[in-house]
Amino acid sequence: MRKFFYFFVATACLASVAFAADSQIWGEMRIPNILSYGQEQSLKLGALFTMLQNHYFGKIFLAILVLVPLVFFVHYKVIGPKVFSHEGKKVYAFDMFNRVVHQIAAISFIVIVPTGFVIVFGDFFGGGTFVRLCKNLHGIFTIPFAIVVIPMFVMWVKDMFLHWDDIKWLMIVGGYLSKVKNPVPAGKFNAGQKTWYWLATLGGVLMIVTGAMMYFLDFKIEMLNNITGLSQIDLLRVSAILHNVVGFAVVALFFVHIYMSIFAIKGAIHSILTGYKEEEEVKILHSSWYRKLKEQGKV
Amino acid sequence: MEYARMKFYCDEARCIECDGCSIACAEAHELPVGISRRKVVTINEGIPGKEFSTSIACMHCTDAPCEQVCPVDCFYIREDGIVLHDKDKCIGCGYCLYACPFGAPQFPRDGAFGAKGAMDKCTMCAGGPLETNSKEERHLYGQNRIAEGKVPVCAAMCATKALLVGDAESISNIYRARVSARGKGANSPYGWDRAYTK
């Protein structure tokens, strides 16, 4: 028994030595990673990352956290929510598969976004166990999102391409600046939903990839170094910068998505829980889709 | 009173790549396998006249970039310029490593699922924020030789006295005397502003 234990310990030690010798950061790669040791042509990403993280990232996240909800608060008070009858007929919009995929992504985002803010404002929370826990949750809840992001992309992609309606929708900001219930030009998804879709899927994949690179840190994918022409440490710096910058957009539109589904359109969240949208809501907010459904005799 | 700024300096003309400094460091601080706070590297290997070896660790930069980017603010710079950090605050995010031009911060994989543990780096043998020379300080940060009035172990062990440590002025005086005696200067950068060639 003891023999096996020693064997296990020796193997573990050797494995970690091999790991250290293979390191892309602290082993042989340490020289090419150091700028002034023959890397004069480098992009100087270390200095850029230091400047951005020190002066801008935190402030921009704080601005998003305060200003986006503030704009919505004013919108809610001044223009108010759109209220549609929940007594009338309903339109079946999302099947079971759509709903499950969306729910898994939703739960992931509900954990990932706030824990991300805790990491960004880690000094406010004093670091330590709580922030470390949030950092780990931030990573763990990426797994369910990573599983559903491709099905989500595929199941909705045919409805998400640019359409003339989207231009018209953008010109009137989706009708959200007026209290009148005029039909708004939009198919099954309006221009706002389309923007969020592309950001959440393509941007989401980018967030997963950059986040995973920072999580695993010391990995070796030579192809990645060859294609980008970056050393390992510069790849990590690019990841950190992209993760923050794409994060601004994801977080801002995530807030928009929540405001729309819960506050701005009363009861809109039920459509992704039950699959049914109110007929009046579809008639006004997705008028082109409604017309199409009518031609097909589905409403 | 104006404190002196403590700095390391490795004289490339004297470094013989014996690795004594990094082994002395690992032994003195009982570092786990896979962590080396100090590393000897050889630059321009095989190019005649250009090859030199030097010993790198945390350079204890003035306005250290790691301290600027840390999201939990776990770094602190002592009055004598030694850059230290609080491992109880550190969340192991890796930002300090991205900011550091020398690759000094390291992350042991101690959590579940291979999560990065608290960052580890050279403390210039000055321990950490815990009670000086306590068991806990020694366990987390290694020896606190500075508190005992001793020279950091790497420089103390350096056989050729290539690795120097002390207040910046004394170090530069010694180095200047050496350079004027041999009429040849340095190749490698010291401090992050020069490393990033700002």
The angle that helices A232-258 and A204-216 make with each other, rounded to 10 degrees, is 140
Of A13, A26, A236, the CB nearest to B36: A26
Contacting A residues, span 126-145, partner chain B, CB-CB under 8 Å: 126-128, 131-132, 135-136, 139-140
What is the pLDDT at residue A221?
Answer: 83
Higher pLDDT, residue B3 or A68: A68
Tell me how long chain B is: 198
Task: Show residues of chain A in contact with B100, CB under 8 Å.
Answer: 46
Calculate how close chain A gets to B162, using CA atoms only, in Å: 19
What is the pLDDT at residue B47?
Answer: 86
Answer yes or no: is pLDDT of B167 > 70: yes
- ipTM (interface predicted TM): 0.89
Fold of A49-295: Fumarate Reductase Cytochrome B subunit (1.20.950)
CA nearest A88: which of A267, A226, A214? A267
Task: Give the other-Cβ count within 10 Å of B21's Cβ.
Answer: 28
Q: Tell me what the mean pLDDT of segment A213-229 comes to.
A: 85
Determine, for residues B97 and A214 on separate chains, whether the beta-carbon distance falls below 8 Å: no
Task: Show residues of chain A in contact with B53, CB under 8 Å.
Answer: none
CA nearest B119: which of B57, B59, B74? B74
Tokens of A263: 């506050």
Domain boundary assignment for chain A? 49-295
Q: Does B197 touch chain A (CB under 8 A)?
A: yes
Cα A293 from chain centroid (whole Å): 32
Helix (H, G, I), strand (E, B) or coil at B119: coil
Calculate how close chain B gets to A283, using CA atoms only, in Å: 48
Tokens of B111: 């959590």
What is the pLDDT at residue A15?
Answer: 45
Identify the architecture of domain B6-195 in CATH.
2-Layer Sandwich (3.30)
Determine, for residues B189 and A36 on separate chains, whether the beta-carbon distance falls below 8 Å: yes
Backbone angles phi, psi at B103, to 5 degrees: 65, 30
Contacting A residues, span 187-226, partner chain B, CB-CB under 8 Å: 214-217
> What CA–CA distance (Å, rounded) separates A290 from A281?
10
What is the pLDDT at residue A14?
Answer: 42
Answer yes or no: is pLDDT of A271 > 80: yes
Residue-wise pLDDT tens digits, A89-130: 999 999 999 999 999 999 999 999 999 999 999 999 999 999
Calculate how close chain A gets to B149, using CA atoms only, in Å: 30
Max CA distance (Å), chain A: 80
Determine, for residues A36 and B197 on separate chains, whether the beta-carbon distance falls below 8 Å: yes
pLDDT level of residue A13 (50, 70, 90 thresholds): very low
Q: Hey, CA dihedral for A191, A193, A195, A201, is it positive or negative?
A: negative
Domain boundary assignment for chain B? 6-195
Determine, for residues A135 and B56 on separate chains, whether the beta-carbon distance falls below 8 Å: no
pLDDT level of residue A169 (50, 70, 90 thresholds): very high
> What CA–CA distance (Å, rounded) separates A16 from B23?
17
Calculate how close chain B gets to A92, using CA atoms only, in Å: 42
Residue-wise pLDDT tens digits, B125-142: 999 999 999 999 999 999
Higher pLDDT, residue B185 or B16: B16
What is the pLDDT at residue A44?
Answer: 76
Count Cα neighbours of A29 within 13 Å in the Cβ-side half-sphere. 19
Both ends of chain B: CA-CA distance in Å?
Answer: 30
Answer yes or no: is pLDDT of A40 > 70: no
Of B44, B89, B93, the CB nearest to A128: B89
pLDDT level of residue B188 (50, 70, 90 thresholds): low
Task: Show residues of chain A in contact with B38, CB under 8 Å.
Answer: none
